[in-house]
Amino acid sequence: MARRLLLGVSVAVVLALLAAVWVTGGLRAATRPRTRPPGALVDLGRYTVRVTDAALIHRRRDGVLLLTVTLQVTSEDRRSVLLSDFTVNAISLATAGGPSPRAAMAQGSSQGADTNMLPPHVPVTVELTYVMPRGSVVPPGFHARLEMWRYDHREDFFYGHVVWVSRKPVGSNAKEPGEFAVPLTLRREDE
C-alpha cells in the first residue's frame, strides 16, 4: 500500500514539474541566430552587410577602451536611409567574458567623403564605436558578435516619414538574439 502511494505521489510530482516547465517555455528550443562566419556577406533583405574589421583600441592618453567594428553596407532600397536609423534598428552587439560596452557612435564614409546616409546601391563603409566602462580591462577570453535583424520600413500615412517595421517574431522581447550573427575576430591596438 505504501509503495503504491509513493509511486502515485512521485508520478504526480513529475507530471506537475513537466507541466510547469512546459508552461514557462522550457521545452521549446532556444532561439539562436543563424551564424555567418566573419567576413561573410549577410543578406538582410533591403541591405547587405559584411563585417570587415573589429578592433579593441586602448587610448592611453585618456584611459578609454573602445571596440570599433567596420562594416561594408549596401542599401538595395530605392531611396536614401539615415545611417543612424539602420544601425540602431538592425544591429546590436552581444559580448561575453568581459565588460559590457555601450554604443557611442556610427560613422559612414563613401567615395572618400563622410556620410550620414545609406544611398541606394552605393556601398558605404560604416564604423561602429562602442565604449567600455572607464578603467575596465578586457580579459583574453573576451569575445563579441554582431546580431542583425531583417528590417523593412514604410512611409507613415500621416507624417510622410520612414517608420521601421521589425521582422522579429511576434511577442519577442528586445533581448532576444537577432536573426543573423557574425562573430567578431578582435585584434588589439594601443594608441
Mean confidence (pLDDT) of the chain: 81
Q: Tens digits of per-residue pLDDT, 78-125?
A: 888 889 888 887 888 999 988 889 999 999 999 889 999 999 999 999
Domain residue extents for the chain: 1-30, 34-190
Segment 123-151, tens digit of pLDDT: 999 999 999 988 888 888 899 999 998 87
**pLDDT tens track for 151-181:** 766 666 665 565 666 665 555 555 677 789 9
pTM listed for this prediction: 0.74
The second-level CATH assignment, the architecture, of 34-190 is Sandwich (2.60)
Cell numbers that stand for 125 in this block: 563603409
How do residues 24-75 score in pLDDT, each as one tens digit?
555 555 567 889 998 999 998 888 999 999 999 988 888 889 999 999 999 9
